[in-house]
Amino acid sequence: MKFGLDRLLSDPDLRRDLKGRRVALLAHPASVTADLTHAVDALAACDDITLTALFGPQHGMKGDLQDNMMESPDYRDPVHGVPVFSLYGEVRRPKDEWMETFDVILIDLQDLGCRIYTYVTTLLYVLEAAQKHGKSVWVLDRPNPAGRPVEGLTLRPGWESFVGAGPIPMRHGLTMGELGQWFIHHFRIDVDYHVITMENWSPDQAPGCGWPLLERAWVNPSPNAPNLSMARAYAGTVMLEGATLSEGRGTTRPLELFGAPDIAARAVIAEMQALAPDWLGGCVLRDMWFEPTFHKHVGKLCSGVQIHVDGPHYDHAAFRPWRVQALGFKAIRRLWPDYDLWRDFPYEYAFGKLPVDVINGGPSLREWVDDPAATPADLDALTTPDEAAWTEERRPFLLY
């Protein structure tokens, strides 16, 4: 198969409309060709493409900043001499003067298929800026490694943030090119928009079920996205960023596990299995130990639960990461009712709101966890209609 970048580079007809125009590129470390050449170098080597600006999203063009809310500076690319503007630094939206440095912006970002992954919001902000300045936007499409399944509550009005671009469920099942089409429709953006589609992407094909295993190398799109297992689990484990539990940052398996020094993982797993065994399909939960080298609970031995989503037991259609993690929270609340579970700080600069609520696009998940009388069926009753509605709403925008 070919990603959008590889098709653009291999087909002069696809590049025809770029000739004679100033071209910008929004990219990160995973923006590479099949032979792992970075998009900046590959595009700069094309005689009919004139790169005049580069843009980096959260974690930077270099992908060097480990933690969230760490801002990247602007700089000049030392090899190609073009300016690199940070869309996660002094600003989150492109500055007016930056928009005057190009005619067309190519967006080549590997996404994880989760609403909270900020590259989604950056795509929206670039589309809005392109409308204002009359610029063209081309998305060089890449796979959604989490595939087509949909899961989670839809973001509620008033809960928009940098990790919540619009009324989308946590696991949206679209590629970046498809999401751009939905943004344009939903927000009525008038912009010259093109998608360089992938060739022969089969999101339902095992064993990758979204990611072309054995065909393409995995390159971290952000520092704590090291493999396909993380991408599969992320729509659930990302909620841990709003909890006092470690999500495994500072270990070699970030966002595939959760734990803390003062929980008992075996008891948590047993409680999860007793509460909603049907929510645990497609994965295996294993109790384990870990000691983070940085971030939450640094240097402390933690009892943890690892969510295994590889190997013969993985079932792509059955695995529901958002419910798995919600159930983990619920089990801890039932076992230790007074556990200090929720963090309180301005997550992604959303002041006056609990981080877990910002992450979920509203308070419903937290309220369900904290209500002793609330059952798994109650959360399903809230969530299933959202999932069904999104599955229908996204249908006109599917390209594959």
Tokens of residue 303, six digits: 């009892």
Helix (H, G, I), strand (E, B) or coil at 356: helix
In this predicted structure, the answer to whether residue 236 has a pLDDT above a threshold of 80 is: yes
Question: How much of the chain exceeds pLDDT 90, in percent?
Answer: 94
pLDDT of residue 64: 67
Tell me, yes or no, whether 400 lies in a domain.
no
Mark whether 211 and 261 lie in a shared domain: no
In this predicted structure, the answer to whether residue 67 has a pLDDT above a threshold of 70 is: no
**Region class of 200: left (phi > 0), else alpha (psi between -120 and 50), else beta:** left
Helix (H, G, I), strand (E, B) or coil at 31: coil
Average pLDDT over residues 211-239: 97
167, 191, 222 - which closes a domain: 222
pLDDT of residue 349: 82
Average pLDDT over residues 356-379: 98
Phi, psi of 128 (to 5 degrees): -65, -40
Mark whether 215 and 349 lie in a shared domain: no
Bridge pairing between strands 75-76 and 83-86: antiparallel
Average pLDDT over residues 165-190: 98
- Domain extent, residue 324, equals 228-390
In this predicted structure, the answer to whether residue 174 has a pLDDT above a threshold of 90 is: yes
Average pLDDT over residues 366-393: 98
Between residues 64 and 17, which one has the greater pLDDT?
17
pLDDT of residue 73: 84
126-170 per-position pLDDT tens digit:
999 999 999 999 999 999 999 999 999 999 999 999 999 999 999
Mark whether 186 and 266 lie in a shared domain: no
- Predicted confidence band of residue 365 (pLDDT cuts 50, 70, 90): very high
Tell me, yes or no, whether 398 lies in a domain.
no
205, 222, 239 - which closes a domain: 222
Give the bridge partners for 56, in sequence order.
Answer: 86
Tell me, yes or no, whether 269 lies in a domain.
yes
Tell me, yes or no, whether 9 lies in a domain.
yes
Exposed (0-12), middle (13-18) or buried (19+): which is 36, by Cβ within 10 Å? Answer: exposed
Mark whether 232 and 120 lie in a shared domain: no
pLDDT of residue 68: 60
Q: Please check whether residue 192 is in contact with residue 136, taking contact to mean a CB–CB distance below 8 angstroms.
A: yes
Report the C-alpha gap between 265 and 288 in whole angstroms: 7
User: The whole model's pTM is what?
Assistant: 0.95
Mark whether 217 and 68 lie in a shared domain: yes
- Predicted confidence band of residue 59 (pLDDT cuts 50, 70, 90): confident
Count of domains for the chain: 2
Mark whether 245 and 342 lie in a shared domain: yes
Mark whether 8 and 43 lie in a shared domain: yes
In this predicted structure, the answer to whether residue 69 has a pLDDT above a threshold of 70 is: no
Average pLDDT over residues 344-358: 92
In this predicted structure, the answer to whether residue 262 has a pLDDT above a threshold of 70 is: yes
Helix (H, G, I), strand (E, B) or coil at 100: coil
Task: Identify the sign of the CA torsion 156, 160, 163, 169.
Answer: positive
Report the C-alpha gap between 100 and 94 in whole angstroms: 10
Tell me, yes or no, whether 32 lies in a domain.
yes
- Predicted confidence band of residue 400 (pLDDT cuts 50, 70, 90): very high
Mark whether 217 and 357 lie in a shared domain: no
For tokens 């602007």, the residue is: 74
Q: Please check whether residue 108 is in contact with residue 31, taking contact to mean a CB–CB distance below 8 angstroms.
A: yes
Q: Please check whether residue 247 is in contact with residue 240, taking contact to mean a CB–CB distance below 8 angstroms.
A: yes
**Chain CA centroid to CA 4, Å:** 19
In this predicted structure, the answer to whether residue 65 has a pLDDT above a threshold of 70 is: no
The CATH number covering residue 155 comes to 3.40.50.12170
Tell me, yes or no, whether 395 lies in a domain.
no
Mean pLDDT score across all residues of the chain: 96
Mark whether 194 and 277 lie in a shared domain: no
The CATH number covering residue 333 comes to 3.90.1150.140
pLDDT of residue 193: 98
pLDDT of residue 66: 59
Mark whether 71 and 128 lie in a shared domain: yes
Average pLDDT over residues 87-93: 92
Report the C-alpha gap between 128 and 10 in whole angstroms: 30
Tell me, yes or no, whether 399 lies in a domain.
no
For tokens 């130990």, the residue is: 289
Report the C-alpha gap between 121 and 142 in whole angstroms: 17
Tokens of residue 169, six digits: 């469920």
In this predicted structure, the answer to whether residue 63 has a pLDDT above a threshold of 80 is: no
Phi, psi of 31 (to 5 degrees): -80, 75
170, 187, 222 - which closes a domain: 222
Phi, psi of 120 (to 5 degrees): -60, -50
Q: Please check whether residue 251 is in contact with residue 288, taking contact to mean a CB–CB distance below 8 angstroms.
A: no
Bridge pairing between strands 50-56 and 257-260: unpaired
Mark whether 233 and 196 lie in a shared domain: no
- Predicted confidence band of residue 276 (pLDDT cuts 50, 70, 90): very high
19-37 per-position pLDDT tens digit:
999 999 999 999 999 999 9
Tell me, yes or no, whether 279 lies in a domain.
yes
In this predicted structure, the answer to whether residue 274 has a pLDDT above a threshold of 70 is: yes
Mark whether 215 and 283 lie in a shared domain: no
